[in-house]
Structure 1
Amino acid sequence: MTTDPWGRVDDDGTVYVRTSEGERVVGSWQAGAPEEALTFFRRKYDALVTEVELLEKRLRTTDLAAGQALASVDKLRATVREANAVGDLDALSRRLDALAERAEERRVEQKHAQEQARTEARDIKERIVAEAERVAEETTHWKSGGERMRELVEEWKAAPRADRATEQTLWKRMSTARNAFSKRRKAYFAGLDEQRGQVRAEKERIVAEAEAIADSTDWGPTASRYRELMQQWKNSGRTDRTSEDRLWARFKGAQDRFFEARNAVFAERDAELRVNAEAKEKILEEARAELLPVRDPREARARLRDYQERWEAAGALPRDARDRLEGAFRKIEDAVRKAEEDEWQRTNPEARARAEATVTQLRDSISQLETRLEKARTAGDARKTGELEEALTARRSWLEEAEKALEEMS
């Protein structure tokens, strides 16, 4: 009989392995020496050791799933338990037990990581859905809103997956938000189409009236009506671009036809009125030379009446000279009127009485302040002295102005 620490070969060629549970037969050897039998069955044991070592390395150096690792451990356990090999099978079983413990730890870690990942995925998709709902409820910028909705769908697809129930609930909210946005957008544009139809009808009416009066020769009222029609056009809003451009071209064409005709008539009329402008230029020069500056308001008023009569008699002015000449003549009238007002103020008894009273009051006040100042200086009251000196300075300045005003009234 040939023996080994972990097995033996009986005289009849039966091969045994020793385990903690006792000996068991692993095979029979009839073809050669017993030592060769033990060597053969030891190699089978070494192959099992290699499998266990490979599993240990995979569990240690890779992200092998815990479930897969446990399945491999269970499979190797069964193999070791029934192995036809000679070696320390109990040691292999203990190594597999240790592997099972590490795999269970990994199962807990992977479960925690999976739960954390699902939580993060839920948070990401909650944010995506919340923004989609906000866009669906609040936005009125339909183009950018639609683009953002598409981006959110892509973000959803790229985001990690949460648990099935959460995915279904959140996707239902996402779909509801997208549908709500589409309905709001469709309703808006349907309303916009209706509104544009109303605007188009209003502008058709405006254009029809503009074309109807385009050949009018009632220049003033018609020009005013065109201004009113233009304001109505602006206030009516905008229709679709094609209709807007077409109607505006018609409106502008009618308006241009009227104003071109009016301008032609006015240009001819202005040419006839040039002689009036020349006459009023002379009247203006004479009035300036005689009346300005105003020395005697009464005489200036009398002479101004003559110039005003001549001015009216000279007739209408051409448009390009009207504002300039009329404005210059009004300045002469204003100068005469102001001179009359100044003269009245100067000679007004009530104004003079008020001016005299003001002068008297200021003189009395200055006298009282001078007395108080002298007492303060004598008492050595620096603060009071400073206050009274400031008050005296101010009132003397007021008195000087009041005396000038009173002198001008004399």
Structure 2
Amino acid sequence: MDYGYIKNGKVYRNAFLDFPEKEIGTVKDSEEATMQYFTDRFQGLLNEITEVQHKIESQSNKGSFLMKVINLKESLPTMDAMGDFESVHNKLVEIESELNTYIDQNRHKNLQIKTALLEELKSVASSHEWKSATEAIKEIQQKWIKTGAVDSEHKDRIEGEYKQLTNQFFERKSAFYAEIEKMMQEKEADYEEFLKKAREKISKGNSNFKTLKADLMSEWKELGKIKHEKHAAFWDEFQRLLKSAMRSSKSAGQGKASVEENIKRRQEILDKLSALSESLEPKINLNQVRKEWKMAGFVPKQKNYEMNETFHRLTSLISEKIFLGQLLQKKARKDMSEQDLEKLRIRLLYDLLNRDVAELKTFEENVEKFNTAKGLDHLLDQKLFQQKRKVEVKKEILNQLKGLQNSN
């Protein structure tokens, strides 16, 4: 027997390579039948190897069979079978070597593919076109998953960079839409406040329904856009209030203030604000002034627009001066001279202005680079306009402070 022998009723497999001979069983029935049994077991091993080779040749993911080949090779010394184990061992070593070469080549190819995907990802991940960029990144993610592993020496770097880029993009996207949602909620709060004040006006009783409705409609149009379903709900409530006001006005039968009187009332408020805006630390309750402004009555559309613009500019100017004065009180030392106080006031204003300019620049860049959902463009334009006004108002105050400083 070339690959083993029988001695004292026991069956032994011959040594091969560095592996010693091995007792693999005992004689049962006859020596011929026993040897045939262990020979058949060896043939089963050959069949299994042939099947693995066929799968390696026919399937694209050849590297997945490496562990199967290694396990077969390592099982040879302990296998209870009779046959040419040395040839089988050499064959499995050869297959293992071919698979390792294939895997090395494939991992190098995978590295090239993933490197190219990273370059594509870097470009897409910096985009503010959230919808198209998200679709592109999802496509890259699918390609990344389908691409196999790379060598361990590159794995941490390339996988880490991929994870960092995707995480940063989705974090920026989440932050952007969180800001949009916050802005929407703020706008919704404006609608709720509007309805609250509308109820208060109506509850006071006013037969001049036309003027009241015009005033309320003018305020409604200034509220800006919100989500459609929210807008519809607020509109329905507003219409219910108007119907209630109309019924009340019919029963009250009071006279109505003329448009000229309404313009005069608003102009008086503007004159008062204009005079106060010249002061560095104006003393006024702006909330009360805003309430008086809204109660001033109907003014024609164009005139209303012009007067509202002036009103918002003056109240913004006064509000900024009040805030600056409060900040100065917190920052100033008790022993500071008037000259030092004014220098500190200018420094504080510079800090506030630089902050607003930076925020404006960032917002402008974002507005230019992304596509927003329908209905949000007006909201963003309004936010941008408010940010620009904050900068313009602070510049106006700064010019006033510098003029006073140069005159002293």
Give the number of the structure with larger relative contact order, counting CA–CA contacts within 8 Å between residues 6 or more apart: 2
For normalisation by structure 1, the TM-score amounts to 0.39
